[in-house]
Each structure stands twice: as structure tokens, then as C-alpha cells.
Amino acid sequence: MPNHDELERISPERAGIESSQVRRCLEKLTNEWASMHGFMAARNGQVFAECFWSPYSKDLVHGNNSLGKTYTGTAVGIALMEHKLSLEEKMTDIFAEEIKERNIEVSELMKEIRIRDVLTMTNGHARHPEIGEDWIGDYFRTPMKYKPGTRFMYNTSGACMLSAVIKKKTGQNLKEYLTPRLFDEIGINGERFVWLKWPNGLDAEPATFSTTEDNLRLALLYMNGGSWNGRQLVDPDYIKEALSVQIGNEYAPEQKDGRCGYGYQLWACSIPGVYRFDGAQGQYGIVWPKKRVAVAVHEGAIAPYGPQRTLDVIYEELLLKIAEEPLEENEEEYNRLLEIEKHMEFMPDRPNDITPDLDLSGKYIVTEGDPTPWLGLAPPGGADMFALYRAKDRKGRMEEFRLEMKEDRCILEVNGYARFEAGFDGKLVLRNTDNVFPDLTAYSATARYINGYTLEITIHWMSSWALTIMRFEKQNGTVKITAMKNRLNQEDNWLVYKGEARGVEL
């Protein structure tokens, strides 16, 4: 039976930290570099801090980005305990059939890559393999430069290969494999947990969406050496090795905490003995086994400095302030903290302050381009990876849309099935709509005119930090469309798509 036991909630003082100090930490986490969505902290398995910035909430799943690699790595640790695989197995042996089918000639160095080397991102490639529809083939086509196991190089393709290893060794996809062995055991709702898929049907990376508490529970499992309520779920030696520096990476092109070493699909932190699950733009699961502390964060932090700023605040204002023993209760400060935690809000958008010169209401057919509103995720300089994960039974290209202008809001309908309601007051209201990701329906949208003839709709995808800005500009009988999808990167921040439409029912 699934284990959905509630985690006990306690005051910060019982955890060894003042309530006022937790409040200062929460206040500093929101800054010019980051917008917070969800934060939880626990000691000895008891939650002493919990805050969600409305309209984000504890029940909403949120994109993990590469934090999902730790879920994949956990599956490897479980399969190891079940004797389904060995970390010494060679990748070319596991995928011999796929290599032969593609007529790929692999080098002697390639033949040395073990599962262990993939876990530690020491594959040995000369560059990051392409991640397209044939990512398995591209992994083996990529030239080698280093002896496997000797040189760290960040490699998302390797995490994808671990997904394929699990499917090969167990006959199950990652979510299917983990649901009874991990999710049900530690209290993660597998029906709510979202794992998007590649076109070949395998569970994808980076494509997990979980609640902040889900990630906290995973951190608690690691803190407890892979054990939960007395049951050993993950090989204990695997967890011990995962929470240790398997390879140095002081030369990595990262911020401070990206150069402290790497374990098995997780990172060492700048505080000795602290480790973290890490996803881009500040998705964190932090584990400090010695102090029995775990922290989980969902946010939108602007790279390259925002995520490190978040870690520094957590270290300086929380982790390093925790005493060895409980403190005297302070009911007044604790109640003040609880009130603040209940009323944190995400910053609203700019309200509309322009009266338009025209009415854009009507139905339009897109005649050029593909300026879609859908959730997207792209690294600097890269394309939208999530385009590969879109449901095949949904029209992905924006073929038609309808705008309905009202006094206090506008409504954008896309392809006859997606409907976005956007208020002119700048306030973020949680709503849901069907879209190309049927399990990720939550959004908040606002609208404003940037001049008398251009409407701008901002769509916040509430299952992520991602947002899409749609601009509709009326020109000489046509509508010019611009879709902008953020990367949350200080430079090269936007994916920009242009299009044009003509009205058919105005």
C-alpha cells in the first residue's frame, strides 16, 4: 500500500533555530536574482519551515530541470540492490544491439564506459552529445577525448542513457519502475508526479515535475542512507558513495558550488558534508546527514548568479544557524513566522494603463511562422527541448487562434482546445487549460497594451518558472505575432518566434 503519512510539523526552535532567523532567510531568498515558488526544511524528518509564494502552492507539481537526474540515479541504486545491474557493466555491452542497428563504429575508449562513469559524468566525451530524437545513437557517435572515469564533464545525455539502462534491465520505464519501489514507500503521489516522455516512449530528462515536498522526501531518504521507516529501499553502499565526492571538478565552468565535486547524479556543496540534488534555475534538494537536515527549493533564479545566491542565503541564514540542541520555544515569533509563510506572494505583473486604438477580437488563421504559447525549456544558445515531449494527439503548431476582448480581461483560445484568460489588473490567478502537455495544465496570465495597437499577454506556466509572452500587433489588415519564451539567463534570455495571421471572423 502507498505510504502517504504526513511529515510532522514542528517549530524552528525544536529544530535548533530561531523562528525569527527562518523569517530572515525567507525574506532574503526573494531578491533581484530569484523569484521563490516553494521552500521546505526539515530536521530529523520533522518540517520546521514551509512556504509557498501564491499562486504557487504545496499541491502543484513544479519542473525539476536536472534535479530529476537524482530520481534517475536513485532508480539505479534500487536496481543495484535488486541485482538487476552492476555499476561495472559497460555501456557498449548493454546497447550492443542499438550500436549494431545504427552501424556505429565505437572506439576502444568508448568501450570502457561503465554505468559508474555515466553516474559521475565522467563519460569521457570530447563534447556534449546531441540530444535529439536519436539520442541513444548520438551518445555513441560522439567522439571520445578522455579515459572514462577520469574527467568530469557535465552531461545530460548520460542521464538519458541511464533511463534507457533501467528500461533495458527491468523492462520498465523510470516512473513505472520507481512507483512501487520509491514513490509508494516514501509518500510521493505517483499519479500526480509527472514524467514526460521522449518520442521513443522512454521517460525523458530533464522532464520530471514533482511537488516541493516530494523532493524533500527524496532528500530525507538520502539523509537516512536509503532507508525509510526501517525499510532499506536503496542499496546503502550506493547511497554512501552517492553522497561523497566521486570525481573532482574544480575546473568546471560553474559558480562556486558547481566546483566542489560530484557524486552519483548529485553535487557536493561548499559546506563540507553537505550535498544537493540540483536543477537549473535553482531547483534544489539539500542533504546534510551529519546535522540531520534536509531542504527542498523550487524557484526561478536567473543564471548564472541567481542559483548560487540562493544557496548562499540558505547556507548563511539557515544551515549554519542551526544549533546542535533544541532552543527555548518562542510562541510569538513562531506565530509571526506562520503568518508570513501563509501570505507570501509571487510578484504581480504590470497592470494595463493604456486605452487601445482598436479591438483585436476575432478569429485568426496563422499564415506564417509558429509562435506558440506552450511551455518551453531551452539552455542558452539551444533550442526548446520540450518540443520533443509534446503530446502527439495535440496540435503543436499554432494554426489558429481567437481573441476576445473584455473590459477587465482578454481571452486567447489556441487551436480550439487551449484557453488562456488574462486579466488587465496584473494579478496572477491560478487557472488551468488543456495544452500540448495534458498533465501540466496550471497557468496564470495577465494582459496589457504596450501601445495603442499591440496587445501583450504574459502566460506564467505554474508547473515551472517558465513564461511565454505573446504579442499581437495589428498592421495593415494582418496581425504580427511574437512569442517569447524565457530561459532565465542573464544573457541570451529569450527564445523568440515570429509569425503572422489574418482575420477570418472579425
CA 166, CA 124: separation in Å to the nearest integer? 21
Within a 10 A sphere around the Cβ of 298, how many other Cβ atoms? 29
Provide the pLDDT for residue 2: 57
Residues 359, 353: Cα–Cα separation, whole Å? 16
pLDDT tens-digit readout, 397-448: 999 999 999 999 999 999 999 999 999 999 999 999 999 999 999 999 999 9
- Rounded to the nearest integer, the mean pLDDT of the chain is 96
Annotation: CATH topology of 362-505: Lipocalin (2.40.128)
pLDDT (average), residues 282-301 = 98
CATH architecture classification, 12-83+157-343: 3-Layer(aba) Sandwich (3.40)
Q: pLDDT tens digits for 304-353?
A: 999 999 999 999 999 999 999 999 999 999 999 999 999 999 999 999 99
pLDDT of residue 1: 45
**DSSP label of 183:** I
Model confidence at 130, pLDDT cuts 50, 70, 90, reads: very high
Biggest distance spanned by C-alpha atoms of the chain = 72
Tell whether the model's pLDDT for residue 253 goes beyond 90: no
How far is the C-alpha of 344 from the C-alpha of 55, rounded, in Å? 9
Equal fold, 12-83+157-343 vs 362-505: no
Calpha distance 40→17 (Å, rounded): 14
The rounded distance, in Å, linking the Cα atoms of 44 and 328 is 18
- Tell me the three cell numbers of residue 82: 535488486
C-alpha cell at 483: 512569442
Over 48-81, what HEC string results? EEEEECECCCCCCCEECHHHHHHHHHHHHHHHHH
Domain ranges of the chain: 12-83+157-343, 362-505
The pLDDT score that the predictor gives to residue 349 is 97
pLDDT digits (tens, 9 = 90+) for 153-199: 999 999 999 999 999 999 999 999 999 999 999 999 999 999 999 99
Contact yes or no for 129/146 (Cβ under 8 A)? no
Among 97, 95, 77, smallest CA distance to 87 is for 77
Which amino acid is it at 96? A
In whole angstroms, what is the distance from residue 406 CA to residue 447 CA? 11
Whether 232 contacts 81, CB under 8 Å: yes
What's the pLDDT at 4? 63
Closest CA to 330 of 1, 23, 8: 23
Q: What percent of the chain has pLDDT over 70?
A: 99
48-90: pLDDT as tens digits: 999 999 999 999 999 999 999 999 999 999 999 999 999 999 9
| 247 pLDDT more than 80 | yes
Helices first, then strands: H and E counts in the chain? 13, 21
Orientation of helix 156-170 relative to helix 68-81, angle to 10°: 30
Give pLDDT, residue 272: 98
In this model, does residue 3 exceed pLDDT 70?
no
Quick one: average pLDDT of 247-269? 95
